[in-house]
Amino acid sequence: MTGADGDGDDGDADDVPVLLVRGDREFLVQPGEEMGTDLGVLEVPADVDPGDTIETHLGEAFTVRRLRGPDLFHHFERTGAPMVPRDVGLVIGETGVAQGDRVLDAGTGTGVLAASMARAGASVVTYERDPEFADVARENMRLGGVTDRVDVRTGDLTEEVTDLEPSSFDVLTLDTGDAADVVGHAPDLLVEGGFVAVYSPFIESTRDVVEAAREADLADVRTRETIQREMQFDDRGSRPSTAPVGHTGYLTVARNV
């Protein structure tokens, strides 16, 4: 990892793209580059600032916006199913990931969780077993402005885990079907009081994770389903949306003591 010092610096700001927004149109563009849109061509100055307005060659105005956390989910190139913003919030909230923390993460997938934790100030080592996914994730880290705080390693964490330095992480985050095979190593990997958070869309692998966490004598092992209902406000009244209940997964959290 280069300069993973958790100092809150966004890396080389010149390399960080900006969003160009007009109504529900959003384009992620590198300052200094050109972007073709259905409303004409946008030439983005290298010294563009958030809040600026840029017009296409047809005179259509776009506002410049700095990329923020939830934008990663919408604008990163997708490989492994990215974690939705609400579940990123749960992981960060339940583990307390903060500036200066060292996080071990797998699998990287699209890299939304890894980048979000880095944007919260952590240094993240993340493993992705698919080499093409890992390459896409490295580019996504550049888009997210966190290349200096995320080390994307190509490899299978179940194979690499025994080579990692003992007690070298504050938090372990897992979003893989084989997470149970890694959870047993948490007491070796984590500092005293460090957290494990495992996200799984399915109950079967969640049960395996809970059993592995108990077997490893991790404390405070708790699993919660993550569900959210959107509210509807219209002329007739206000109520939860009648669309299907929004299950995304199960989050298991445990602590090393």
Ligand X SMILES: C[S@@+](CC[C@H](N)C(=O)[O-])C[C@H]1O[C@@H](n2cnc3c(N)ncnc32)[C@H](O)[C@@H]1O
Where in 22-61 is the site for ligand X (CB under 6 A)?
Answer: none
Find the residue with minimal CB distance to ligand X. Answer: 107
Of 157, 80, 69, 74, residue with least CA distance to 111: 80
Q: Nearest approach, Cβ of 174 to ligand X (angstroms)?
A: 9
**From 21, 81, 245, 257, residue interacting with ligand X (rule: CB under 6 A):** 81
**From 6, 11, 17, 111, residue interacting with ligand X (rule: CB under 6 A):** 111
**From 4, 19, 54, 83, residue interacting with ligand X (rule: CB under 6 A):** 83
Of 191, 81, 189, residue with least CA distance to 130: 81
Structure tokens at 232: 């509807």
Query: Which residues contact residue 207 at a Cβ distance below 8 angstroms, ignoring those fewer than 6 apart?
Result: none
Where in 119-178 is the site for ligand X (CB under 6 A)?
Answer: 127-130, 133, 156-158, 175-176, 178
**From 112, 124, 143, 180, residue interacting with ligand X (rule: CB under 6 A):** 112
Composition of the chain by helix, strand, coil, percent to 5? 25, 35, 40
As a whole number of angstroms, the distance between CA 63 and CA 16 comes to 17
**From 11, 17, 107, 249, residue interacting with ligand X (rule: CB under 6 A):** 107
As a whole number of angstroms, the distance between CA 201 and CA 104 comes to 20
As a whole number of angstroms, the distance between CA 80 and CA 36 comes to 28
Of 158, 172, 32, residue with least CA distance to 104: 172
Determine the interface stretch with ligand X among 56-64, 78-86, 183-191, 248-256 (rule: CB under 6 A).
78-86
Shorter beta-carbon distance to ligand X: residue 79 or 95: 79
Determine the interface stretch with ligand X among 27-35, 55-63, 106-114, 142-150 (rule: CB under 6 A).
106-114
Of 122, 147, 10, 19, residue with least CA distance to 74: 19
Q: Nearest approach, Cβ of 173 to ligand X (angstroms)?
A: 8
Shorter beta-carbon distance to ligand X: residue 39 or 164: 164
Shorter beta-carbon distance to ligand X: residue 30 or 154: 154
Element (H, E) at 198: strand 190-200
**From 18, 67, 79, 124, residue interacting with ligand X (rule: CB under 6 A):** 79
User: Does 71 help bind ligand X (rule: CB under 6 A)?
Assistant: no
Q: Nearest approach, Cβ of 124 to ligand X (angstroms)?
A: 11
Task: Tell whether omega for the bond before 93 is within 30 degrees of 0, i.e. cis.
Answer: no
Q: How many residues bind ligand X (CB under 6 A)?
A: 23
Asked whether 240 and 231 are in contact (CB, 8 A), the reply is yes
Q: Nearest approach, Cβ of 69 to ligand X (angstroms)?
A: 12
Chain residues binding ligand X by CB under 6 A are: 79-83, 106-107, 109-113, 127-130, 133, 156-158, 175-176, 178
